[in-house]
Chains A and B, each alone.
Chain A
Amino acid sequence: MKKIFYIFLLLLSYFIQGQSKYITKTGLISFEASVPSFEEVTARNNAVTAIINTQNGEFASLALVNGFRFKNALMEEHFNENYAESSEFPKTTFKGKIIEFSLKSNEYKIEGDLTFHGKTKSLKNIPIKLEIIDNEIIMSGNFEVKTSDFEVKIPKIVANKVSELVKVNFLFKLIKK
C-alpha cells in the first residue's frame, strides 16, 4: 500500500511538473528596420519555438535566422549572407524571466538575454501582455534594439535605406504541455 502511494506520488510529481509548462512551435516574430519613403525592410518568422514555465515565470524562445521571410528574395539573401550571417549563427534565442509572474494579472514585464549574430544583449523591463484562456497563454509585446548591439554592420551605400533601430514584435500562443 505504501509502495503504491509512493508510486502515485512519484507520477504526480512528474505530472505536476508537466502541467506547469506551456509551449509553442509556431510563434511569430517580426521585425522592421524600414526608413520612411524607402523600400520596406521587414521580415517575419512564424515558426518560432517558445516555452514558459508558469511555476516561476521563466521564459525561453528560439528561432532559426533563415526562417525570417522578407518581401523579396534578394533582400532575404542579403540579410542571411551579409547581415545576420546565418550559416555561421543559425539561431537566435531569448532566455529570461517574467517579473512578478502570478497568472493573475494581464500585464507584466520581462527581462533576459537576447542572442543574435553570436552576440548577447540583455533586455530589461520589456512590457508584455498575457492572456490566459484555459490551456492557452497568449503572450505578445514589442521592443526595440539597435543593429550595433549585435555587431550587425549596415554598409554606407544602404545606410539611408535601412534603419539602425529595429522594431521587434512577437506573438506566442503557448499551449499547455
Chain B
Amino acid sequence: MKNILVILIFLPLFSSSQEDLLNEIDSDSTINQYTIATFKGLKIVNFESTKLVAKKELTFVVSHRFGSIENGIDTFFGLDDAVTRLNFIYGLTDWLNISASRSSYQKIYEAAIKYRLFRQQENGFPVTIVGYHSILVNTALEEVNLPKLEFKNRLGYTTQLIVARKVNKNLSIEIIPTFFHDNLVVIDEQDNSQFALGFGGRYKLSTRWSLNADYGWHLNRASNSPFKNPLSIGVDLETGGHVFQMHFTNSQPMNTNGFLGQSTGDWSDGNIYFGFNLSRTF
C-alpha cells in the first residue's frame, strides 16, 4: 500500500520529465481540413468551376476567343476575328460572388451571382457544391431586322449547380447540371428552355501547369439545329498573382447560353478556336 502511494506521489514528477510537451498540445490528431485548390481558375475552360473570389477581392478576367483556325494564314489563324469578354467578379463574402461582364459576341451584357453551398473536406463531406445564376442581355439585336423586337426578347437566363470533387492531389472532376432559357432562339424548332449536363476536369501536370477540359452535353437540342456541343481542352499556367488559361474550343461565345446553345465550331473538321482567359486579382 505504502509503496503504491509513493509511486503515485512521484509518478507526476517522473512523467513530467519524461512526457513530451509536444504530445500534450498535439491533441487533435484528426483535423477536418477543407480541401483546397480543387480548381485554380474561376472557370475550367468555358464552364464555371467551384472556385470563388475571396472576400473583398476584385478579379478582372479578360477572355479571348479568336476566329476559327481553319482559315489559316488568311485570318492569321483567327486572330482577325477575335471575340473579347471582360468580366469583373467581386467577393461579397468568401462564399458569395457577384459579377458583371460584357462580351463582344452579340454585344452581350451579363450579371451573375455565384455562391458556395457545401465544401469538400479531407475527412468529411465528399464534394463542393456551388450555385450559379445569371441574366444576359443581347444588345446586338437590331430593331431594323426584327421589327417586333421587345426588350424581353433580348434576355436570357442561366441556372447551374456545380458539383466538384478533388479526387486526389492532381485530379479534380466536376459535373454541372444546367438549365438555360433564351427568350429568342435562332431556330424556331428549338425550345426556349434548354437543359444540359456539363462535365469538366483538371489534371495537375506540375506545381504550375495543369491540363483542363470541359464538355457540354445539350439534352434537348432541336433535330435540325446547326449547333454543336462544346468541347474545350486547355492548360492552366499559374504565375503567383494570376492564372493564365490557354485552350482550344469549338465554341466562340463565352457566356453559358452562348457556348451551350450556339457553338458552331466542329472538332472533326478543324473548325476550332484558340482562346485564353487571363485573370488578375486586385
Contacts from A to B (Cβ < 8 Å):
6, 9-10, 13-14, 16-17, 20, 23, 39, 49-51, 53, 55-56, 58-62, 64, 66, 72-75, 77-78, 80-82, 86-88, 90-91, 93, 95, 153, 155, 157-158, 161
Nearest 7 CB-CB pairs, A to B?
A73-B54, A60-B21, A81-B37, A60-B22, A82-B207, A17-B12, A49-B25
- With A51-B21, A62-B22: A158-B122 Cβ-Cβ less than 8 Å: no
Q: Is the CB of A23 within 8 A of B25?
A: yes
| Chain A contacts for B188, CB-based, 8 A | none
Q: Is the CB of B37 within 8 A of A95?
A: no
Docked complex Cα distance between A95 and B40 (Å): 35
Q: Please report whether the interface of chain B is mostly helix, strand, loop or mixed according to DSSP.
A: loop
| Chain B contacts for A16, CB-based, 8 A | 12
Q: Is the CB of A17 within 8 A of B33?
A: no
Q: Is the CB of B40 within 8 A of A161?
A: no
| Chain A contacts for B241, CB-based, 8 A | 39, 72, 74-75
Is B140 interfacial (CB-CB < 8 Å)?
no
> Min CB distance, B231 to chain A, in Å?
27
Is B146 interfacial (CB-CB < 8 Å)?
no
Docked complex Cα distance between A16 and B207 (Å): 51
Of listed A6, A39, A64, A153, residue having the most chain B CB within 10 A: A6
Docked complex Cα distance between A16 and B240 (Å): 52
Docked complex Cα distance between A66 and B241 (Å): 19
Q: Is the CB of A93 within 8 A of B26?
A: yes
Q: Is the CB of B239 within 8 A of A158?
A: yes
Is B152 interfacial (CB-CB < 8 Å)?
no
Q: List 21 A-B contacts (CB under 8 A).
A: A9-B9, A10-B9, A13-B10, A14-B12, A17-B16, A20-B16, A49-B25, A51-B24, A53-B16, A53-B21, A55-B16, A60-B20, A60-B25, A72-B54, A72-B241, A73-B55, A74-B242, A77-B40, A81-B36, A90-B33, A95-B21
Of listed B11, B26, B35, B240, residue having the most chain A CB within 10 A: B240
